[in-house]
Homo-oligomer: A and B are copies of this chain.
Amino acid sequence: MQNPFFIKKNNVKINEILTNLNLSKQKKNYVIKDIKDLDSANINDITFFHSIKYLDSLKKTKCKLLITNKKFALFIPKKINVIYVQNILLSVSKITALFYPEALSDNFDSGVRDPNKKKYPGIKFGKNVLLGKNVRIGKKCSIGHNTIIEKNVKIGENCNIGSNVIIKNTIIGKNTNILDGAILGKKGFGFFPEKLKNIRYPHVGMVIVGNNVEIGCNNTIDRGSLTNTIIGDGTFLDNQVHIAHNVKIGKNCIITGQVGFAGSSTIGDRVMIGGQSGISGHITIGDNVQIGGGSGVIKNISSNSKVMGYPAKNIRNFLKENKLND
């Protein structure tokens, strides 16, 4: 999918990247198309490897140019050209800023206007709605009072957007409800801590919300950094849920109130998560998993498991240890 939200510079060459990283230029200077993660990078892109958690993706990547640290040298397939750096993510951040020079700014869209009713026939608008340029809204949608939809957002047909909602950098399917006060598409909480001033990480990903989804009141769903944040078809989120950047939630999941997801985790289909549970970053939860309320999930959970506790464990053990199974 072409990213409609961030303008990519198309003439970034390898030597521009090397210079930016304070490395020596190479003889043959050629164009790099984009920077992407291992899974989505193509043959003309540049990618990166920063954790052995992504060894599988490394083996499968189509990409031929990769940034990493020397400590990972032995893992890199021989067919891939490698640029070794000290701090992988900081380097990725700098290169991303080369490709997407405007992605660091996350200010409000000052180009929003009152809806032009002629342009949106049949859409039911509340009071004080603000729409950015090139917003597409499907048939039979309703958009509540004071809601702000920034530029380039696309909403499928038959969606109901509540009041006081803010949507940016997001693509929404059909028959989906976004409830009051939800905020979608803000940049993720990604940056590099520095003594004087934290260095913000560019977030050029989107939020992609499927069909028949419900997003609860006061939810915060951040957009991805190099990949997208995804909420699958038929998934329902209760109130005050927080979803950090790059999280991918499958289909028909049920996520109850105040659940939080740290960044870059992947959740399968038909997963049920009880209230106030927290899901750590960079982990994988399989299909049909049931997670009891209040759990803290800090490692991968295989499909069809039932877990509970902090840290989350097999629910039978949790109940047994707490003498709750009698």
Identify the interface centre among A146, A234, A236: most chain B CB within 10 Å of its CB: A146
Pair A148/B163 contact, Cβ less than 8 Å: yes
Pair B294/A296 contact, Cβ less than 8 Å: yes
| Number of residues of chain A lying within 8 A (CB) of chain B | 72
Pair A179/B175 contact, Cβ less than 8 Å: no
Task: Kindly provide the distance from the CB of A318 to the nearest chain B CB, expressed in whole angstroms.
Answer: 9
Contacts of A252 in B (CB 8 A): 193, 195, 198
Contacts of A148 in B (CB 8 A): 145-146, 163-164
Task: Kindly provide the distance from the CB of A277 to the nearest chain B CB, expressed in whole angstroms.
Answer: 9
Pair A256/B189 contact, Cβ less than 8 Å: yes
Task: Kindly provide the distance from the CB of A198 to the nearest chain B CB, expressed in whole angstroms.
Answer: 6
User: A208-240 interface mask toward B, CB cutoff 8 Å, 1 = contact, 0 = none?
Assistant: 000010101110101000000000001010111
Contacts of A164 in B (CB 8 A): 146, 148, 164, 166
Q: For A299, give the chain B residue with the smallest CB separation.
A: B324
Contacts of A160 in B (CB 8 A): 106-107
Distance A126 CA – B112 CA, assembled complex (angstroms): 9
Contacts of A166 in B (CB 8 A): 163-164, 180-181
Q: For A253, give the chain B residue with the smallest CB separation.
A: B193
Distance A257 CA – B188 CA, assembled complex (angstroms): 11
Distance A107 CA – B256 CA, assembled complex (angstroms): 21
Distance A189 CA – B311 CA, assembled complex (angstroms): 26
Contacts of A191 in B (CB 8 A): 236
Distance A181 CA – B184 CA, assembled complex (angstroms): 12
Distance A276 CA – B160 CA, assembled complex (angstroms): 30
By a beta-carbon cutoff of 8 Å, the part of chain A in contact with chain B is 106-108, 110, 112, 124, 126-128, 130, 142, 144-146, 148, 160, 162-164, 166, 175, 177, 179-181, 183, 186, 189, 191, 193, 195-198, 212, 214, 216-218, 220, 222, 234, 236, 238-240, 242, 244, 252, 254, 256-258, 260, 262, 270, 274-276, 278, 280, 293-294, 296, 298-299, 309-311, 313, 322, 324
